[in-house]
Structures are given as structure tokens and as C-alpha cells.
Structure 1
Amino acid sequence: MALSSSFSPLLNRAITSSPELKAPLINPFRLLDQKFVSSVTVNTPRRLRFIKPVCAEPRSSDSVIPLAASVAAPGRVTLWNFCVYLSVVDFWSLTCISLFWVNADVKNETEKEDYEKLAKELADASPLEIMDKALEKFGNDVAIAFSGAEDVALIEYAKLTGRPFRVFSLDTGRLNPETYQFFDAVEKHYGIHIEYMFPDAVEVQALVRNKGLFSFYEDGHQECCRVRKVRPLRRALKGLQAWITGQRKDQSPGTRSEIPVVQVDPVFEGMEGGIESLVKWNPVANVEGRDIWNFLRAMDVPVNSLHLKGYISIGCEPCTRPILPGQHEREGRWWWEDAKAKECGLHKGNMKEEGVHLHGNGNGNGASLSNGSTIVADIFNSQNLVSLSRAGIENLAKLESRKEPWLVVLYAPWCQFCQAMEGSYIELAEKLKESRVKVGKFRADGDQKGFAKQELQLGSFPTILFFPKHSLKPIKYPSDKRDVDSLMAFVNALR
């Protein structure tokens, strides 16, 4: 249907009389500025490829429809063709928008599902292959978390991939001087700049002013770590889509035994924000500590000089100490606390609910329940050992005069350190069976933990107490040496 004859002169006059044509606004689009156009025809198919979604924001010099009208031979604009054109434009715009959001949702859902599948596919892969996959997938939006210990292996693997990579580290302000020297050596060796994250000065000042420099020895390390490590890490991860850690399954009893090589981070958020917005890669999850060190020696890379002084797991100076032969590497961290909780909060997703059925003992001596959890078998089982109940040890602690002295271990059967000393403690009980010293055990986890901490000097598992014949207060064994000779020397000095 053609425009009426009365409308055509008005349109022609508006076009020719104005020195510069102003395109009228039509729906969400406008016609291009065009001079000396007496009549136009719609040429839809050739120009549709220039259409942008209506939600896009073009530059001020851009037109949403670059050539909605084209110059043609003199004629008329048909209202029917023009309406058809606008209908097609609206249809394609809405279709593009819908497809964009649908595809985005499908992509996000696919990615969520793929990480579990990818973890299974890479379960037997080498650390180099896993590192390469992480860098390939996320590029500049993934970074290696470097702690100043054997995490240098991650940097070496990243270098071997030949891909660019980023490294960040948390400077708590309380690291050993050797660790700062190590940071400098690593930067020079690899030609990189480590991205340091620092705690908020106001938060640190408030903590120190209110509770002192060493409050963590009295009320636990979690508050200090939250200020100096966890919150700076949270800020760092908000600028990433993924991060790479040096976690290994053999590092910490009860917290890292089940970590996969890749997972959706259960605690922290990435740049997109919200739950499941961050991916966590653990390339050396399945590698044992000795193999990491064989790799570092073979590649001749810088290492922290503290390792030569007996330090294995290295953190802040007040909370880290060297370990003794036979001790687990994690015993050098927060040694005054429960052995199963050796986490600072950076990997909080590894922590499990406290309970006697949540932790295997590492020897396969557990019975499975219908919910998949495990009941841990008891330890220190010997006819030469007396198993004390809560009432029994309360009575023993209240006695001012005992017929015989007692040696008692406060333990948890799931604790790897308790398991490690089981043989030596049973042997000690065998040697003392003909003496006047009674040897006992008291299970101090679960519901008994609060009582043991308050009344029996429990710090971490295992805690060994000697109850003399004529003393109300038990004497706590102060050493980490739990071999038979060391324990016997302790008993002989006091009985």
C-alpha cells in the first residue's frame, strides 16, 4: 500500500528544505542521516548483517542501523515494506538477545559439570600436564599461589609449559627473613614479578592493640590468619577466574587426603562473583613430598634455606618450627594445637565436620556406614594398657596420694601422630609391666575434648601425662620425641 498523495509532498518538502536531514526516531531505531533523498525503498537482506542487539551501546558516531535506507531511483516509500522491515529488525534483535543469554546459561551449566569430569580424566595425569591445562584454559585469569616453600615446583612446571603465567603471594608481615630472601631469588631466577598481597593495616593494628602480638598461642591461630592471610587472599582471588595451589594429599592428616586435581572452589569467589565462580587447580595433589623434592633437586631451582634447618612446611615465623626425625611435616605448624586442624583458612573447604566417624586412620581399619562415612578402629590396644573412662581419669586426677604412678596418653584414634607412636607406646607399656608404673590411655576427642583441654592440659594429640605418687598435678611430657627411649627417660626421671 503506497503512502497517500497528501503525505508525499510533506515528506519531500521536509527532505529538500532542510540543509541537513535529521532522521526521525522510529521505535528503538532511527534512519541514517541522509542528504538529498527524495524517495527510498527498503533493501533488507543486504543490510541485516549490520544489526546489533538493542541493548548494545554504540559509539556516538555509530548508527544502530548503518544503512537502513539506501539511495534509489525516484519513487515512493511503501508503508507495507517499511513495516515489514521494522518487524524483521525487531525479530532478529530479540532473537539475538535470546540466543545470547540461552547460550551463556548453557555454557555455564556445561562448565560446572565439566570440572568433575575433568578431574576424573586428569586423575592420573602428570603435574606438567595438569598445569598446562590450567594455563591453556584460563590464560591471564589464573595465577599460582606461592607460599615460599616447595611451591616453587609449581613455578617450574609453569615455566616448562612455555605458556605465560602469573604468580602471587601473601606477605603477612611476619615471615622469616629467609623466606623474603627466597622470594627475591625466585623472581630473579625466573625473570618474573610476584604479585604480593598485604593485610589491611587497620585490621592488623586493631588485632595487635586489642590482643597483643602473640594472642594465637592462647586462643588459636584462626583469627590472626583470617586478618593476615584469608582476607588478602579473598581480595586476590576476586580478580581471577582460577588459582593454582601446591596442595598434596600427603601434607596434612584429616584435611587434604581427598583433594582432586581440579575442582570448583567451595569457599572463595572469582571475578564473576557468587558461588562456584572460581576454579581451583591442585596439580601436585597426587604427588608425594619426596617426589617433589627429587624434582626440585633435578631441576636445580632455588629453595628456601629454612629447609636445610629442618623446616618442611613453612608459614609465619612465630607459628613455624623445624620438625624432628619421624615427625609429620605438618607438625611444624601451629604445634600447640589439635593435630587434625592444621589449616589456616586458605583451604577451608578441606575441613570436615568434627566427629569420630569422619576420619579414617590411614590403615584401612575402619568400618563403612550406610552414609559413606567411616568408624575408626581404636588404637593402643594391649593387655598392658588400662583404658580409662571419663570417671576413671577424673578420679585419678583428684587423688593426692596414689599407690603407683601413672603414665597416660590423651589421644584420638584418627590422629596420624597418635597412630605413629602406637608401636613405641605399646612397647613402653610392655617394659613397664613389671615396674610399679601403670600405663593407661584416655580417648580425649569428641565430647571429651573440652574437658581434656580444661582439666588435663590437652593441647594437641597426642598429649602424654605422668601422674606422680605424691602430687596432685600431672606433669606433661614436653618433647615431640615419642620413641621408647625418650619416653622411658621421662618416666625414670619422675617415678
Structure 2
Amino acid sequence: MVTIETAAQLNAEFKENEIVNVLKNLADRFEGKVVFTTSFGIEDQVITDYIFKNDIPIKVVTLDTGRLFEETYKVYNRTLEKYQKPIQPMYPNQEELEKFVGEKGPNSFYLSVENRKACCHIRKVEPLGRALKGMECWITGIRASQSNNREDMQLFEWDGGHEIVKYNPLRDWSLEDCREYVKDNQVPYNVLHDRGFVSIGCAPCTRAIQPGEDFRAGRWWWESNSKKECGLHTHEK
């Protein structure tokens, strides 16, 4: 059973280790209970390459919200073709989604933060809960420089809401580091990254950013920066 102390122990143990070695160790230590969630962004593609190229037995899943970009699905398909490894899709609860859209409309997230968070909960947060059920270690592609909310993140963190240890292998990576990795290793990546999209989510809620804009400016651009989290990584301590 993992606890908050587990995260502290892992931080001390793996402070200087290379990512591939940590992933292999986690797969051995938490056998069958390690999961990586990918949205097929450039960061996640880096981690996918580490896992699949090295045949590390870590379950890979993706949250298919039903409103992703066509380019994202193309990356999904190209990734399956390149590595010949499974990526398990997790879909929103059909009844909850039908009820929400039936009552609020298909684009109600533009009308209020409350509506947007409700949509994110149905399409992303609840499916994530199912993906993490029974798992002990959750691998993510988030980086510390992606938003002010992530500046103090640790390599390993305790997510009390899901009672799971999170491993953030790219915590100290820059976007340029990720770009260089996918280029050097010929990793499939989303062409939207070449069009000014740095953080890619659902199509109606994501736009390219302009030079000088904050990294998260392209997500839910009609909201203030202080509210720009969908709930996947706002964990309880």
C-alpha cells in the first residue's frame, strides 16, 4: 500500500537517476499497478517512447474526450503503428455526458467556469478516476514551467484524492528539450505544435498562443489564468 511517505522515499531514492532506470524500477516495484496517461502532446510522446522503446511493462491509457483535434487522433494512430504496443482509451460516461449536453448544450463551457469545469469533469476527471483505480503509481508528462501552479512540483508527489504516487519525469525539462528529443528519436508528434499550439486539449477549448503569451494562454483562453486547470492535476495532499 502506498502512502504520502512513499512519495518522500522515492524522491530521496531517485533524485539523480535517469528516467528509463526509474521507469524500470517502478514497473518492478509496483508490478501491474503503474499507469501512464497520455494526451499525445509532445511531452507525453517523450514518455511513451521511453516506455515502449524499452519494453517497460507499464500500462498506457488515454482519455478520449470525444472532442479532440483530428491531428491528435493522427498522432494516436501513428504511435500505435510505430511501436505496435496497446494504448487503452478511456471514454466519458455516456449517460452523464448525454444528460449534461442535453441540459446545457454542446458549447456551454463558454458560458461559465462552472459549466466548463463540469464538462472537464465528465470528459476527463471521471474517466481518469477509472484509469487510476487499483493503481499505485501514476506517471504524467507535466513540467514545472508549464504554469505557475506547477512551479513547486516534486519529482514524486502524493495525490491524496486518488491515493496514488505521481511520478513527473519531465519536471525539469523545457519545451525545447522535448522538441529535441522527439526529433533525435524520430518520435511521432502533433503537428499543431508547429502552429503555435503548446498545450493541446479539446479542440473547442484550445488555440495557438502568440509570442510572449503565457504557456497556458491557449487553454480556455476566455478565462482568467488563475482558473486554468481542468482538475486532473489539482490533487489533494
**Does the alignment reach a TM-score above 0.5?**
yes
Post-superposition shift, 1:176?
0.7
The alignment status of 1:328 with 2:222, answered yes or no, reads no
For 1:143, give the aligned amino acid.
V
Distance in 2 separating the partners of 1:211 and 1:196: 26
Post-superposition shift, 1:123?
3.1
The alignment status of 1:223 with 2:109, answered yes or no, reads no
For 2:152, give the aligned amino acid.
E
Residue by residue over 1:53-89, the C-alpha shift from the partner in whole angstroms, topping out at 9 and shown as x without a partner, is: xxxxxxxxxxxxxxxxxxxxxxxxxxxxxxxxxxxxx
Change (3 A) 1:159 1:194: closer
Structure 1 runs (4+) greater than 6 angstroms displaced: none
8 Å CA contact 1:134–1:281 kept in 2: the answer is no
Post-superposition shift, 1:159?
3.0
Partner of 1:248: 143
Q: 2:154 aligns with which of 257, 260, 270?
A: 260
Partner of 1:59: none
Q: 1:281 aligns with which of 162, 167, 172?
A: 167
8 Å CA contact 2:79–2:188 kept in 1: the answer is yes
Distance in 2 separating the partners of 1:350 and 1:247: 17
Change (3 A) 1:126 1:342: farther
For 1:155, give the aligned amino acid.
T
The alignment status of 1:135 with 2:21, answered yes or no, reads no
The alignment status of 1:187 with 2:80, answered yes or no, reads yes
Post-superposition shift, 1:112?
4.7
Alignment of 1:57-456 (within 5 A): 108=1, 112-150=4-42, 151-220=44-113, 221-253=116-148, 255-268=149-162, 276=163, 278-349=164-235
For 1:263, give the aligned amino acid.
E
Change (3 A) 1:114 1:144: closer
- Secondary structure at the residue paired with 1:174? coil
Residue by residue over 1:297-348, the C-alpha shift from the partner in whole angstroms, topping out at 9 and shown as x without a partner, is: 1101100121122211000000001111222221110111121332100111
Determine which structure has the larger helix proportion and give its number: 2
Distance in 1 separating the partners of 2:91 and 2:178: 28
8 Å CA contact 1:252–1:340 kept in 2: the answer is no
Change (3 A) 1:205 1:289: same
Post-superposition shift, 1:157?
1.4
Residue by residue over 1:222-253, the C-alpha shift from the partner in whole angstroms, topping out at 9 and shown as x without a partner, is: 11100111001111111322211001100112
Post-superposition shift, 1:281?
1.2
Distance in 2 separating the partners of 1:245 and 1:171: 16
Post-superposition shift, 1:118?
1.9
- Secondary structure at the residue paired with 1:247? coil
For 2:45, give the aligned amino acid.
V
- Secondary structure at the residue paired with 1:263? strand
8 Å CA contact 1:149–1:304 kept in 2: the answer is yes
Distance in 1 separating the partners of 2:52 and 2:6: 26
Alignment of 1:480-491 (within 5 A): none
Distance in 2 separating the partners of 1:257 and 1:263: 13
8 Å CA contact 2:198–2:208 kept in 1: the answer is yes
* Identical-residue share of aligned pairs (%): 37
* TM-score of the superposed pair, with normalisation by structure 2: 0.91
Distance in 1 separating the partners of 2:8 and 2:82: 36
Q: CA RMSD in A?
A: 1.9
8 Å CA contact 1:198–1:232 kept in 2: the answer is yes
* TM-score of the superposed pair, with normalisation by structure 1: 0.45
8 Å CA contact 1:312–1:322 kept in 2: the answer is yes
Change (3 A) 1:266 1:114: closer
Consecutive unaligned residues in structure 2, runs of 5 or more? none
Post-superposition shift, 1:161?
3.8
Residue by residue over 1:169-212, the C-alpha shift from the partner in whole angstroms, topping out at 9 and shown as x without a partner, is: 00001001111111111111111121000001111111111111
Residue by residue over 1:124-162, the C-alpha shift from the partner in whole angstroms, topping out at 9 and shown as x without a partner, is: 433333323322222322111001211011111113444
Distance in 1 separating the partners of 2:6 and 2:59: 24
Question: Greater RCO between the two (CA within 8 Å, min separation 6)?
Answer: 2
Corresponding pairs, count = 234
Greater mean alpha carbon deviation, residues 228-237 or residues 286-295? 286-295
For 2:201, give the aligned amino acid.
G
Distance in 2 separating the partners of 1:209 and 1:336: 23
- Secondary structure at the residue paired with 2:229? coil
8 Å CA contact 1:267–1:348 kept in 2: the answer is no
